[in-house]
Structure 1
Amino acid sequence: MYIPFDQLPPHARLWIYQASRPFTEAEQAEIKPMLERFASEWSSHGTGLQASATLLHHQFLVLANNESATSASGCSIDSSVNFVRELERQFGISLFDRTRLAFLQNDEVQLVPLSQLKDKVSAGEIRENSLYFDTLVNNLGELQSAWPRPAGNSWLSKYF
C-alpha cells in the first residue's frame, strides 16, 4: 500500500540509493510514477507493505517502509533490489556504487571518490562541518532531522 513519503512515521525504515549522476527533470518525471507503482505493489509474504519511495536532491532514490505495520522480508528486499537494478538499466545510471561520497556544496550535490577523501580533508576542501549525505541513515526521523549532516557527526569523523 502506497503512503505519501511525508506521511510515514519517523521510525519508518529507509533504503537510500545514491545515483552516479543527477537525475534529469525528464527522468524524474518518468521515474516518480514508477516509484509510486512499486511502493503500491511492494509486499512481504503476500501482505502489502505500508511503503513509499521518493527522489531527493535529484541524486538519491529513497525507499521506505513502515516496519511497525509489516516488516520487509528477505524476499521483499530482494524485489526492491531488483526494481532498483531495473531502474539502473533503464536510465543508464549506477545506484549501487558505494565508492563515492556525496556532499552538499554551494547548494549542489558533489560526489567525491572515497580514494580522494583523505587528500580533500588534508587540503581543507572537506571539513568536519561539511554537509554529508550519509546513505547509512536508516529511518525517516533521522533523514528529516539530520540529512545531510556535518561530516564530523557521521562515520567520517575518523578522518578529522
Structure 2
Amino acid sequence: MYIPFSELPPQARLWVYQASRPFTEAEQTEIKPLMERFATDWSSHGKGLQASAELLHNRFLVLANNEEATAASGCSIDKSVSFVKELEQKFGVSFFDRTQLAFLKDEQVQLVSMQELKSKVAAGEIDQNSLYFDTLINNYGELQNAWPKPAGSSWLSRYF
C-alpha cells in the first residue's frame, strides 16, 4: 500500500541509493510513477507493505516502509534491490557504487571519491562541518532531522 513520503512515521525504515549522476527533469518525470507503482505493489509474504519512494536532490532514490505495520522480509528486500537494478539498466546510472561520497556544497550535490577524501580534508576543502549525505541512515526521522548532516557527526568523523 502506497503512502505519501511526507506522511511516513519517524520510525519508518529507509533504504537510500545514491545515483552516480543527477537525473534530468525528463528522467525524473519518468521515474516517479515507476517508484510509486513499486511502492504500491511492494509486499512481504503476500501482505502489502505501507511503503513509499522518493527521489531527493535529483540523485537519491529513497525506499521506505512503515515496519510497525508490516516488516519487510528478506524476499521483499530482494524485490526492492531488483527494482533498483532495473532502474539502473533503464536510466544508465549506478546506484551501488559505494566509493563515491556525496556532500552538499553551494546548494549542489558534489561527489568525492574515497581516494580523494584524505587530500580534500588535508586541504581544508572538507571539514567536520561539511554537509554529508549519509546513505547509512535507516529511518525517516533521521532523514527529516539530520540529512545531510555534518561529516563530523557521521562515520567520517575518524578523518578529522
The alignment's TM-score, normalised by the length of structure 2, stands at 1.00
The offset of 1:147, in angstroms, is: 0.1
Q: How many residues align?
A: 160
Paired-residue identity, % = 74
> In the aligned structure 2, how far is the partner of 1:157 from the partner of 1:4?
34
1:119 aligns with 2:134: no
* Paired AA for residue 90 in structure 1: K
1:75-121 deviations in Å (ceiling 9; x for gaps): 00000000000000000000011000000001000000011100100
Match in the other structure for 2:83: 83
1:34 aligns with 2:31: no
> In the aligned structure 2, how far is the partner of 1:20 from the partner of 1:159?
23
RMSD, aligned CA: 0.3
> In the aligned structure 2, how far is the partner of 1:138 from the partner of 1:2?
19
> In the aligned structure 1, how far is the partner of 2:62 from the partner of 2:142?
13
1:135 aligns with 2:135: yes
User: Structure 2: which 5+ residue stretches go unaligned?
Assistant: none
> What SS does structure 1 have at the residue aligned with 2:70?
coil
1:28-83 deviations in Å (ceiling 9; x for gaps): 00000000000000000000000000000001000000000000000000000000
The offset of 1:152, in angstroms, is: 0.3
The alignment's TM-score, normalised by the length of structure 1, stands at 1.00
Where in structure 1 do 4 or more consecutive aligned residues deviate above 6 Å? none
1:57 aligns with 2:57: yes
> In the aligned structure 1, how far is the partner of 2:151 from the partner of 2:94?
23
